[in-house]
Amino acid sequence: MTVQEVMERAGVKETTLTIAWIKDAIHLIRSQQNERLETSSSNIIDGIREYPLPANMIKLKSISVKDTNDDKYKRIRRLVQDPVVSEDNSPD
Protein backbone atom coordinates (compact mmCIF):
# COMPACT_ATOMS: atom_id res chain seq x y z
CA MET A 1 0.00 0.00 0.00
CA THR A 2 1.35 3.41 -0.94
CA VAL A 3 1.22 6.62 1.07
CA GLN A 4 -1.28 7.99 -1.43
CA GLU A 5 -3.61 5.02 -0.88
CA VAL A 6 -3.44 5.54 2.90
CA MET A 7 -4.22 9.22 2.39
CA GLU A 8 -7.24 8.39 0.24
CA ARG A 9 -8.60 5.82 2.71
CA ALA A 10 -8.09 8.11 5.72
CA GLY A 11 -9.42 11.18 3.91
CA VAL A 12 -6.27 13.18 4.62
CA LYS A 13 -4.67 15.62 2.19
CA GLU A 14 -1.40 16.27 4.06
CA THR A 15 1.44 13.95 3.05
CA THR A 16 3.70 14.78 6.01
CA LEU A 17 0.92 14.00 8.50
CA THR A 18 0.23 10.65 6.82
CA ILE A 19 3.93 9.73 6.83
CA ALA A 20 4.14 10.65 10.52
CA TRP A 21 1.18 8.36 11.26
CA ILE A 22 2.81 5.51 9.34
CA LYS A 23 6.10 5.99 11.23
CA ASP A 24 4.22 6.03 14.54
CA ALA A 25 2.41 2.81 13.61
CA ILE A 26 5.68 1.08 12.67
CA HIS A 27 7.28 2.22 15.92
CA LEU A 28 4.28 0.92 17.91
CA ILE A 29 4.42 -2.47 16.15
CA ARG A 30 8.16 -2.81 16.78
CA SER A 31 7.85 -1.86 20.45
CA GLN A 32 5.17 -4.48 21.08
CA GLN A 33 7.17 -7.39 19.68
CA ASN A 34 9.19 -9.52 22.06
CA GLU A 35 12.67 -10.49 20.97
CA ARG A 36 13.72 -13.96 21.90
CA LEU A 37 17.47 -14.05 22.24
CA GLU A 38 19.25 -17.28 22.96
CA THR A 39 22.89 -18.04 23.53
CA SER A 40 24.50 -21.32 22.71
CA SER A 41 28.05 -22.57 22.90
CA SER A 42 30.07 -25.24 21.23
CA ASN A 43 33.63 -26.47 21.48
CA ILE A 44 35.97 -25.81 18.58
CA ILE A 45 37.43 -29.04 17.24
CA ASP A 46 40.61 -29.09 15.19
CA GLY A 47 39.89 -29.90 11.55
CA ILE A 48 36.18 -29.07 11.64
CA ARG A 49 35.12 -25.89 9.84
CA GLU A 50 31.34 -26.12 9.93
CA TYR A 51 29.15 -26.37 13.00
CA PRO A 52 25.38 -26.89 13.15
CA LEU A 53 23.10 -23.95 13.88
CA PRO A 54 19.64 -24.18 15.48
CA ALA A 55 16.89 -24.94 12.96
CA ASN A 56 14.63 -22.18 14.30
CA MET A 57 17.30 -19.48 14.13
CA ILE A 58 16.35 -16.38 12.16
CA LYS A 59 19.36 -14.13 12.65
CA LEU A 60 22.90 -14.63 13.92
CA LYS A 61 23.92 -11.55 15.89
CA SER A 62 27.53 -12.33 16.78
CA ILE A 63 30.15 -15.03 17.23
CA SER A 64 32.74 -15.00 19.99
CA VAL A 65 35.66 -17.29 20.71
CA LYS A 66 37.19 -17.73 24.16
CA ASP A 67 40.88 -16.87 24.20
CA THR A 68 42.61 -19.30 26.53
CA ASN A 69 45.53 -16.93 27.12
CA ASP A 70 43.56 -14.20 28.88
CA ASP A 71 40.31 -16.13 29.53
CA LYS A 72 38.16 -13.57 27.69
CA TYR A 73 35.74 -13.91 24.80
CA LYS A 74 36.90 -12.27 21.56
CA ARG A 75 34.27 -11.27 19.03
CA ILE A 76 34.78 -12.43 15.46
CA ARG A 77 33.99 -9.80 12.84
CA ARG A 78 31.82 -10.73 9.89
CA LEU A 79 33.54 -11.19 6.58
CA VAL A 80 32.50 -8.62 4.02
CA GLN A 81 33.62 -10.85 1.20
CA ASP A 82 34.30 -14.53 0.70
CA PRO A 83 37.52 -15.68 2.35
CA VAL A 84 40.49 -16.26 0.09
CA VAL A 85 41.46 -19.91 0.18
CA SER A 86 44.79 -20.98 -1.23
CA GLU A 87 46.61 -24.27 -1.17
CA ASP A 88 50.28 -24.59 -0.46
CA ASN A 89 51.58 -27.21 -2.90
CA SER A 90 55.26 -26.65 -2.16
CA PRO A 91 57.14 -29.50 -0.48
CA ASP A 92 58.08 -28.99 3.17
pLDDT at 36 over 80: no
Residues 51-88 pLDDT 10s: 888 888 888 878 888 888 888 888 887 666 665 555 66
Mean pLDDT of the chain: 82
Query: Which residue type does 11 have?
Result: G
**pLDDT on residue 80:** 62
pLDDT at 45 over 80: yes
Residue 7, class by beta-carbon neighbours within 10 Å (0-12 exposed, 13-18 middle, 19+ buried)?
middle
Separation in Å, CA 91 to CA 25, 47, 86, 87, 88: 65, 21, 15, 12, 8
Question: What are the residue boundaries of the structural domains of the chain, listed by start?
Answer: 3-32
